[in-house]
Amino acid sequence: MRMRPTLSWTPDADLPPGTTDLEPVAEALAAGGVLVLSGAGISTESGIPDYRGEGGSLSRHTPMTYQDFTGSAAARRRYWARSHLGWRTFGRARPNAGHRAVAAFGDRGLLAGVITQNVDGLHQAAGGEDVVELHGSLDRVVCLTCGAFSPRRELARRLEAANPGFEPVAAGINPDGDADLTDDQVGDFRVVPCAVCGGVLKPDVVFFGEAVPPARVEHCRELVRGAASLLVLGSSLTVMSGLRFVRQAARAGTPVLIVNRDPTRGDREAVTRVALPLGEALTTVAARLGVSAADPAGT
């Protein structure tokens, strides 16, 4: 199934204003049964930019679409060159206070689950368990021909061997892990095929214009049905893949709370939107609840 990507959303002038009052969030977590839905904004404090916030990556680049990737060898060369370089930085990112707080809430039994739109694996790196990766993960690669999966680190070694000396300087790194490179910097970068069948390799992520697997969507819908409240962290909710769960919760009368500095497409369905940086907000809430969100590993 192919969908037209939604890359932007313009907030209405009469959206409810944001607040700095964290009490509704603290009360929801204290009651338990909170389902977290996280977006790119929770990872900005780990050095990974978001798409649409201030200085977001969409202001300078258009993400790769599924249609472009599958339809053009040149597009795949450009993508893998950029992604190979970006992975070196992206793969070194470490969880921040927001990720650690979410993991701590889970450890205390306050959560009904975590759904993340991110592909960075930072919730798990912080100790989060049973995280649903709505859009997949960059640390896995899948063959579009035979369906074989392989670790991203294995592909990185193969790409290193096929492209010795590939060390361009990128203008920046994007939320999907690719680096900003010009066509000249991409040059004649060599893409490697599937080691099993020789087919086309793709990161195990949902590209713009690609549908989230139906079974994964239904699993998330089931989590929403079982949650006492839905807490959205760092997502503009521009794309329907996340917004549909907010609308589902609101239709069922399940309270929706949002922590995001900028207005979101789900603000009308929410009982509150807290306009504070996520690390600060979640650390404050954790302290109020007596939950330790320290970083024992020093990450």
Which one of the listed residues 84, 99, 123, 135 is annotated catalytic?
135
48 annotated as a binding-site residue: yes
User: How far does Cα 98 stand from its chain's mean position?
Assistant: 13
How many C-beta atoms lie closer than 10 Å to residue 101's C-beta?
28
Beta-bridged to residue 141, according to DSSP, are 150, 203
User: Does the annotation list 261 as a binding residue?
Assistant: no
**Residue 153 marked as a ligand binder:** no
- 57 labeled binding residue: yes
Q: Is 59 part of any known ligand binding site?
A: yes
Contact 289, 30 (CB under 8 A): yes
The amino acid occupying position 81 is A
Residues 84, 163 contacting (CB under 8 angstroms)? yes
**Tokens 């609101």 found at:** 250
User: Is position 83 annotated in a ligand binding site?
Assistant: no
* Token output for 17: 């204003």
| Residue 8 is labelled as binding a ligand | no
To the query of whether residue 135 is one of the catalytic residues in this protein, the response is yes
Instruction: Tell me if 29 is assigned to a ligand binding site.
Output: no
**Paired tokens of 66:** 């599924």
Question: What are the structure tokens assigned to 27, written together?
Answer: 């009360």
From the list 239, 288, 262, 293, the residue with the least C-alpha distance to 15 is 262
Answer yes or no: is 143 a known binding residue.
Answer: yes
Four-point Cα dihedral 244, 63, 267, 103, nearest 10: 80
Q: What is d(CA 247, CA 277) in angstroms, rounded to the nearest whole number?
A: 24
Does 234 belong to an annotated binding site?
yes
Consult the annotation and say whether 56 binds a ligand.
yes
Q: Is 91 annotated as a binding residue?
A: no
Question: Which residues make up each annotated binding site?
Answer: 39-59, 117-120, 143, 146, 194, 197, 234-236, 278
Question: Which residues make up each annotated binding site for Zn(2+)?
Answer: 143, 146, 194, 197
Question: Which residues make up each annotated binding site for NAD(+)?
Answer: 39-59, 117-120, 234-236, 278
Active site residues: 135
